[in-house]
């Protein structure tokens, strides 16, 4: 035991092992447990202290026992430790089971091709185990996918895509600023329309008039639209601007958030048919939703 886990492996192994176990079982969110809970850090220090005390006592006792042995016994003990092959050497030997070079003449086969000889080594156990493992795997695989009709790779892929799609939909519902002109829907909540109106009065009324009747910019209350009506087109115009050099800026570039654009676009929709006094003459085509 002591030979396989010398001091410099044993101590970190026990310490980080306990730290890992604590980390695994204590729910500390995305921070390490010993940062989130100072008492865990304290516990780790205590564990380290106990390990060190234990090691020191262990070494002292060992030393005392060695002192008590006679000279020969001590030498015999040391030799036993040195002459034993390490576990790694043992493992490699067992895993390959090759006949050592000194004994190769015992397994050389009788044919000789122009001086090239063939050895009859046993199959290496690691290979044989691997082969048995493939047989076990094949049985499990066949049962799972061909007898009990498990999901194929394509089916698994599609299942995961479906889950991801639902998650994206859920996320979009919480992230209001992810809307763009392809996904936007008209808002109807009074609070959203109020907010849209405020944005409109502050930023847009100079060109479109506070009632939307239009001056520099077109009338936003009639059925005629230069750049297309409906929530999607209106959102796009506000976000990306009108035709070049016409005066309608791309408001997303001026720092207007998608959620605000959605609010003001929804507000504009409510102006339809209000027929304000002194409204600008219709421009563009009559727009009909498809």
d(CA 213, CA 290): 25
User: Which residue lies nearer to ligand HEC by CB, 23 or 249?
Assistant: 249
User: Which residue lies nearer to ligand HEC by CB, 33 or 220?
Assistant: 220
Other Cβ atoms closer than 10 A to 286: 10
Q: Return residues touching ligand HEC (CB under 6 A).
A: 200, 203-204, 206-208, 216-218, 220, 225-227, 234, 237-238, 242-243, 246-248, 251, 264, 268, 283-284
Classified as helix, coil or strand, 225 is: strand
Instruction: Write out the H or E segment, with its range, that includes residue 104.
Output: none
User: Which residue lies nearer to ligand HEC by CB, 33 or 241?
Assistant: 241
CB of 202 to ligand HEC, least distance (A): 8
Classified as helix, coil or strand, 111 is: strand
CB of 186 to ligand HEC, least distance (A): 13
User: Which residue lies nearer to ligand HEC by CB, 33 or 222?
Assistant: 222
CB of 262 to ligand HEC, least distance (A): 11
Q: How far is CA 220 from the centre of its chain?
A: 46
**Burial class (CB within 10 angstroms; exposed 0-12, middle 13-18, buried 19+) of 162:** exposed
CB of 185 to ligand HEC, least distance (A): 16
Q: Are 13 and 5 in contact (CB under 8 A)?
A: yes
CB of 175 to ligand HEC, least distance (A): 22
Q: How far is CA 257 from the centre of its chain?
A: 28
User: Which residue lies nearer to ligand HEC by CB, 19 or 220?
Assistant: 220
């Amino acid at each position: 035991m002591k030979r396989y886990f010398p001091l410099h492996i044993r101590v970190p192994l026990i310490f980080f092992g306990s730290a890992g176990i604590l980390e695994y079982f204590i729910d500390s969110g995305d921070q390490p447990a010993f940062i989130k809970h100072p008492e865990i850090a304290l516990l780790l220090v205590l564990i380290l202290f106990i390990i060190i005390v234990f090691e020191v006592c262990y070494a002292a006792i060992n030393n005392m026992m060695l002192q008590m042995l006679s000279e020969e016994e001590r030498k015999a003990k040391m030799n036993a430790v040195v002459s034993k092959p390490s576990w790694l050497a043992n493992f490699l030997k067992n895993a390959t089971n090759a006949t050592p070079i000194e004994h190769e003449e015992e397994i050389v086969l009788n044919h000789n091709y122009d001086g090239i000889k063939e050895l009859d080594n046993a199959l290496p156990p690691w290979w044989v185990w691997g082969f048995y493992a493939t047989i076990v795997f094949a049985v499990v695989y066949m049962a799972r996918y061909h007898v009990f009709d498990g999901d194929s790779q394509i089916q698994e892929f599609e299942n995961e895509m479906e889950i991801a799609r639902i998650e994206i939909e859920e996320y979009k519902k919480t992230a209001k600023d992810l809307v763009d002109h392809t996904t936007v829907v008209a808002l109807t909540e009074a609070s959203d329309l109020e907010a849209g109106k405020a944005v409109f009065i502050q930023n847009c009324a100079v060109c479109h008039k506070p009632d939307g009747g239009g001056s520099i910019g077109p009338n936003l209350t009639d059925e005629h639209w230069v750049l297309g009506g409906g929530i999607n087109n209106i959102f796009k115009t506000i976000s990306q601007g009108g035709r070049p050099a016409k005066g309608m800026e791309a408001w997303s570039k001026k720092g207007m958030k998608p959620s605000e654009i959605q609010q003001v676009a929804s507000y504009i929709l409510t102006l339809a048919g209000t027929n304000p006094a002194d409204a600008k003459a219709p421009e563009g085509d009559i727009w009909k939703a498809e």
